[in-house]
């Protein structure tokens, strides 16, 4: 089943690998489930708390959080726990340098990684 999943690498603004998206599930680089993504690109923690927005850059997607509007997003019910995870030894291409985040916006994986704690059994 794992080979059927199109894994999308998620990067930081600093071009480091931060996570893998196997839609709708988001995993850290150790293969632990840390969140999920809605069809609109909103990113939520495994607890259903809004984290940010998946940037629509197909070559170097990253998770950005607009500091003013983030608290306005309602909690969501997480999907069922995934029964798959990415292989942590995957190699990914170095992404192009992304632009700076817009004013009032932060890169979640660089500045607020605690918003995406891993699932613990």
Q: Could you state, in order of their start, the residue ranges of all structural domains in the chain?
A: 2-115
pLDDT given at position 59: 77
How high is the pLDDT of residue 3? Answer: 59
Residues with Cβ within 8 Å of residue 72, at least 6 apart in sequence: none
Alpha carbon of 84 to those of 25, 26, 43, 55, 87: distances in Å?
Answer: 10, 11, 19, 24, 9
Indicate the pTM of the whole model.
0.90
pLDDT of residue 1: 42
pLDDT digits (tens, 9 = 90+) for 39-67: 999 999 999 999 999 998 777 799 999 99
């Amino acid at each position: 089943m794992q080979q059927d999943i199109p894994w999308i690498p998620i990067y930081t603004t600093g071009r480091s690998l931060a996570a893998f998206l196997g839609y709708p599930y988001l995993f850290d680089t150790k293969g632990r489930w840390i969140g999920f993504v809605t069809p609109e690109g909103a990113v939520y923690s495994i607890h259903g708390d809004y984290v940010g927005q998946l940037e629509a850059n197909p070559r170097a997607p990253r998770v950005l959080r607009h500091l003013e509007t983030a608290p306005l997003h309602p909690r969501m019910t997480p999907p069922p726990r995934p029964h798959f995870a990415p292989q942590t030894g995957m190699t990914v291409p170095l992404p192009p340098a992304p632009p700076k985040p817009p004013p009032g916006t932060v890169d979640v994986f660089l500045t607020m990684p605690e918003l995406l704690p891993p699932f613990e059994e």
